[in-house]
Amino acid sequence: MDIERQFIGLKESDEKVLQYIYVSNYPKVEQFILGNSGTTDDAHDIYQEAFLAVWRNVQLDKFRPQNETAVAGYIYQIARNKWLDQLRSVKNKKTADLPDEISHQLADTPQLDDAEMGYLELVKEEYERLGDPCRELLNRFYFKKESMREIAAHFSWTEASAKNNKYRCLQRLRNMIINKKENGIP
Amino acid sequence: MKQEYDISPDEFDLIERYLGKTLTGEESVAFEKRLQEEPVWKEKVNEVNLLMLGIRETALVEKLEGFHHALAGESLIKKTKPVISMVRVWLVAASCIALLGLGYWWLMGNESKYEKMYAAYYQPDPGLPTTMSVANNYQFDKGMVAYKAGDYREATDIWLGLSQSMPANDSLFYFLGMAELALQHRDKALNYLKPLADDPQKPYSKEACWYSGLLLLKEGKTEEATAFIRRSQHPESKKLLLELNQ
């Protein structure tokens, strides 16, 4: 898959491109983790974290692939660093034998500061608690990139109502986050 | 990120267009100028960006397991490659395909029949009229408004808060069961519905029988399901039982 298609697919969250990238890069990461004291469950978790980190960096304009293997290399590097960090953190005996030449510079570039990361986690947490109609509306608009016209047709609303409802849902999510932050309660 | 500000619909719209890079040249210049001059504006932009990112990320996380399933089989073959012969690899692969095929046939051939019946007969309870009266009833009605709007998570949140102060309220438990059922929380739904279904003296007992029966039918537990559906005396029960006996 060419570089532009990979980049646009990641940026626009095109499901087919995302799945292609996910499936084609997993085996190499799994092989590395299985070969370094890990299990398939470890590989699954680490790989998904790395995949999300790459996707997030593309969303935040902090990563743009420069050649066709850049996405694959970036996922692998993040996954590898994460796994090595995890091994070190549990003081696995084999850690001492692991190569330590990898530069963490690229992979560990902070995507967001602590406050932003905390806020992002709250968004994800509270979004799960948002009512189903709101989640569906926001998902269609922000993830599936459907137009207001398409969303209005789906819900049998006018375009103006769809727009108002989208705002209400965002405002509701925002208020839930503010309440959680201020009072620690939903 | 103190969020001591409001973000109006127009501001949301403008920020989204900025982040989506769809502002005109003139709008873009004015926007950047505002970013330089107004720290609060910068905070608002950052917040909207994180809101959008969080929503997208949650949606993506939900997709990842689906992507992972597409890998099934592949990793098994790769892991065994160094130690077994190609013939054995092919045998394993062929067995996997055969098993997958059998599994697919079993799932689609048997389970889907009952799932289809469940889908054909399941209609959520329309709920009760709301009067928005006082105290506990007010909270119950508030939950009912959410329930009737299809906001089942909100409804369960409100009603769960009430279940402490109204421990023996059958209506509350029945509608909690209905909301959990709509959310496809099988175990929670049955926990609320079965005690009502098992006691014919309780209000909503027949309704609870109907929905418990449908849930069990969906899982292919036809004997148990039949007993509940028969006791429900639901207007559709005879038709459904007839279909089940065919």
Let me know whether A87 and A167 are in one domain: no
Evaluate whether residue A104 is within a structural domain.
Answer: no
Q: What six digits make up the tokens of B11?
A: 């501001």
Q: Which residues contact A82 (CB under 8 A, 6 or more apart)?
A: A46, A49, A50
Q: Which residues contact A113 (CB under 8 A, 6 or more apart)?
A: none
Task: Select from A44, A69, A97 the last residue of a domain.
Answer: A97
- Angstroms from A77 CA to nearest CA on chain B: 19
Task: Select from A67, A97, A127 the last residue of a domain.
Answer: A97
Let me know whether A13 and A85 are in one domain: yes
Helices A3-11/A70-89 angle, 10° precision: 60
d(CA B82, CA B77): 10
Has residue B162 got a pLDDT over 90? no
d(CA B128, CA B179): 13
Let me know whether A7 and A92 are in one domain: yes
Among B25, A141, A178, B202, which Cα is nearest to A149's?
A: A141
Let me know whether A34 and A77 are in one domain: yes
Q: What pLDDT is recorded for position B119?
A: 83
CB within 8 Å: A60 and B53? yes
Buried b (16+ CB within 10 A) or exposed e, B22-48: ebeeeeeeebeebeeeeeebebbbbbb
B138-150 tens-digit pLDDT: 778 778 877 877 7
| Count of C-beta atoms within a 10 Å radius of residue A166 | 22
What is the residue range of A7's domain?
Answer: 3-97
Let me know whether A48 and A10 are in one domain: yes
CB within 8 Å: A52 and B60? yes
CB within 8 Å: A27 and B151? no
d(CA B149, CA A98): 56
B5-20 tens-digit pLDDT: 899 999 999 999 999 8
**Eight-class DSSP state of A184:** S
Evaluate whether residue A108 is within a structural domain.
Answer: no
Task: Select from A97, A127, A161 the last residue of a domain.
Answer: A97
Evaluate whether residue A54 is within a structural domain.
Answer: yes
Evaluate whether residue A7 is within a structural domain.
Answer: yes
Has residue A97 got a pLDDT over 50? no
d(CA A23, CA A17): 10
Q: Is residue A147 classed as helix, strand or coil in its secondary structure?
A: coil
Let me know whether A11 and A93 are in one domain: yes
Which range of A152-166, B103-117, B198-212 scores highest in mean pLDDT? It is A152-166
Provide the percentage of residues in chain A whose pLDDT is more than 90.
Answer: 62
Q: What six digits make up the tokens of B226?
A: 């039949």
Pick B7 or B2 by higher pLDDT. B7
d(CA B16, CA B14): 5
Evaluate whether residue A75 is within a structural domain.
Answer: yes
Let me know whether A91 and A132 are in one domain: no
**A/B interface, count of CB pairs below 8 Å:** 121
Let me know whether A90 and A134 are in one domain: no
DSSP assignments along A51-76, one per residue: HHHHHHHHHTTS---SSTTHHHHHHH
Q: What pLDDT is recorded for position A31?
A: 95
What CATH number did the domain enclosing A166 receive? 1.10.10.10
Evaluate whether residue A106 is within a structural domain.
Answer: no
d(CA B117, CA B224): 15
Mean pLDDT along residues A94-103? 45
Has residue A184 got a pLDDT over 70? no
Evaluate whether residue A125 is within a structural domain.
Answer: yes
Let me know whether A137 and A168 are in one domain: yes
d(CA B208, CA B198): 9
Let me know whether A120 and A82 are in one domain: no
Let me know whether A92 and A124 are in one domain: no
Contacts of A27 in chain B (CB under 8 A): 71, 74-75, 78
A34-66 tens-digit pLDDT: 999 999 999 999 999 999 999 999 998 888 888
Based on the structure, what is the number of domains in chain A?
Answer: 2
Q: Which amino acid is at A172?
A: R
Residue of B nearest to A123 (CA): B54
HEC assignment per residue over chain B = CCCCCCCCHHHHHHHHHHHCCCCCHHHHHHHHHHHHHCHHHHHHHHHHHHHHHHHHHHHHHHHHHHHHHCCCCHHHHHHHCCCCCHHHHHHHHHHHHHHHHHHHHHHHHHHHHHHHHHHHHCCCCCCCCCCCCCHHHHHHHHHHHHHHCCCHHHHHHHHHHHCCCCCCCHHHHHHHHHHHHHCCCHHHHHHHHHHHHHCCCCCCHHHHHHHHHHHHHHCCCHHHHHHHHHHHCCCCHHHHHHHHHC
d(CA A81, CA B123): 50
A112 falls in which pLDDT band (50, 70, 90)? confident
What is the end-to-end Cα distance of chain B in Å, rounded?
63
B17-75 tens-digit pLDDT: 999 889 999 999 999 999 999 999 999 999 999 999 999 999 999 889 888 887 764 54
CB-CB contact of B44 with B16 (8 Å): no
Instruction: Give this complex's ipTM.
Output: 0.86
B74-131 tens-digit pLDDT: 544 344 333 344 545 566 666 656 666 555 544 444 457 888 888 888 888 888 776 5
CB-CB contact of B197 with B212 (8 Å): yes
Q: Which amino acid is at A47?
A: Y
**Eight-class DSSP state of A96:** G
Helix/strand/coil percentages in chain A, nearest 5: 75, 0, 25
Q: What six digits make up the tokens of A175?
A: 């208020």
Contacts of A48 in chain B (CB under 8 A): 61, 64, 68
Let me know whether A89 and A121 are in one domain: no
d(CA A95, CA A69): 28
Point out the residue among B1, B67, B149 whose CB comes nearest to the CB of A22: B67
- Angstroms from A91 CA to nearest CA on chain B: 26
Has residue A98 got a pLDDT over 60? no
Question: Between vectors from CA B88 to CA B84 and to CA B92, what angle results, nearest 5°?
Answer: 115
Evaluate whether residue A103 is within a structural domain.
Answer: no
Residue of A nearest to B2 (CA): A178
